[in-house]
Amino acid sequence: MKILVCISKTPDTTAKIAFTDNNKKFATDGVQWIINPYDEWYALVRAIELKEKDPATVLHLVNVGGAENDAIIRKALALGGDEAIRVNIESQDSFTIASQIAQVAKEGGYDLVFTGKETIDYNGSSIGGMVAELLDLPYVSLATKLELEGSNVKLTREIEGGEETVETSLPLVVSAQKGMAEQRIPNMKGIMGARTKPLKVVEPVAVEALTSIAGFELPPAKAGVKLVPADNPEELVRLLHEEAKVI
């Protein structure tokens, strides 16, 4: 069994969102970087659990980006995984990233490719589906549970207002979200061990981007809160009905 987990680097959830270069670039000054929480808490931890159950499992991580991503990759290796692969290209649109991951997945012959349900910066929810299509594999997205039974896979995925259980077989691409696993904190042994785990750098395949970002903008500032006295909540209901017209 060979598992590949896609690891993305994102700004910390409390990072100040601002732009430079005429609103064309995200301002990275002073930004703390983290592993995209969906990749870390759900995809990676579930993959580690599968390896703990079956120690013969090979678990690799993949990231697309420059050498500045290595610190995040080591952080992920501190949680688990045998080795990591970084495709050495400044990430562009989701299609170019997915194409690089698909290439790594193809060459490595993985049975299971895991992504988080989306990144918290571009919120595309696109990489898993694109990788699946490029490899012509089944794709279960927004999965909250995954159990392996030989090459048969039982999963639960989100639907509007509930969930459904599905069955499919390996090889498979899955996007993971809350429910799939519980967040883990790396221990000292993991952190020390991560330093010596292989981090292979591979060169990208040539792909043309399909989209580009023309610019960013911040949402308009709120006008400020209208406070209603606590002893007159009826006034709030009146305002919502007559002024905001939402109820």
Partner 1 sequence: MSVLVYIDHTDGEIKKSSLEAASYGAKLASQLGVAAHGLVLGTVSTDLSALGKQGIQKVHQVKNDSLNQFDPGQQATMIAEAVGSLGATVVVLSNNVTGKALAPRLSARLKAGLVAGAVALPDTSNGFVVKKAVFSGKAFAQVEVTSPVKIISLTPNAFSVSNGDGSAEVAEINLTVPAAKIKVTGINKIKGQIPLSEAELVVSGGRGLKGPENWGMIEELADLLGAATACSRPVADSHWRPHHEHVGQTGGAVAPNLYFAVGISGAIQHLAGVNRSKVIVVINKDPEAPFFKAADYGIVGDAFEVMPKIIDSVKKLKGK
Ligand X SMILES: Cc1cc2nc3c(=O)[nH]c(=O)nc-3n(C[C@H](O)[C@H](O)[C@H](O)COP(=O)(O)OP(=O)(O)OC[C@H]3O[C@@H](n4cnc5c(N)ncnc54)[C@H](O)[C@@H]3O)c2cc1C
Q: Among residue numbers 139 through 158, which ones bind partner 1 (CB under 8 A)?
A: 139-142, 144, 154, 157-158
Determine if 167 is a binding residue for partner 1 (CB under 8 A). yes
Q: Closest approach of Cβ 120 to ligand X, in Å?
A: 9
Q: Closest approach of Cβ 233 to partner 1, in Å?
A: 4
Q: How many CA atoms lie within 13 A of 240 on its CB side?
A: 9
Determine if 56 is a binding residue for partner 1 (CB under 8 A). no
- For residue 116, the cross-strand partners are 176
Distance CA 10, CA 17 (A): 12
Quote the tokens at residue 128: 């898993």
Q: Which stretch binds partner 1 (CB under 8 A): 60-68, 80-88, 133-141, 191-199?
A: 133-141
Helix 127-135 / helix 94-108 crossing angle, nearest 10 deg:
50
Q: Closest approach of Cβ 145 to ligand X, in Å?
A: 20
Residue 176, SS3 per DSSP: strand
Size of the site for partner 1 (CB under 8 A): 83
Q: Which stretch binds partner 1 (CB under 8 A): 50-58, 60-68, 81-89, 94-102?
A: 94-102
- For residue 113, the cross-strand partners are 4, 173
101, containing H or E segment: helix 94-108
Question: In the range 10-49, which residues lie near ligand X by CB under 6 A?
Answer: 13, 37
Q: Closest approach of Cβ 192 to partner 1, in Å?
A: 28
11, containing H or E segment: strand 9-11
The one-letter code for the residue type at 165 is T
Closer residue to ligand X (CB): 82 or 121: 121
Quote the tokens at residue 6: 């896609």
Q: Which one of ligand X, partner 1, none is in contact with 247 (Cβ closer than 5 to 8 A by kind)?
A: partner 1
Q: Are 112 and 3 in contact (CB under 8 A)?
A: yes
Quote the tokens at residue 94: 């989701």
Q: Are 33 and 14 in contact (CB under 8 A)?
A: no
Residue from 1, 58, 122, 190 that binds partner 1 (CB under 8 A)?
Answer: 122
Closer residue to partner 1 (CB): 63 or 177: 177
Q: Closest approach of Cβ 17 to ligand X, in Å?
A: 15
Q: Closest approach of Cβ 175 to ligand X, in Å?
A: 17
| Contact positions vs ligand X (CB under 6 A) | 13, 37
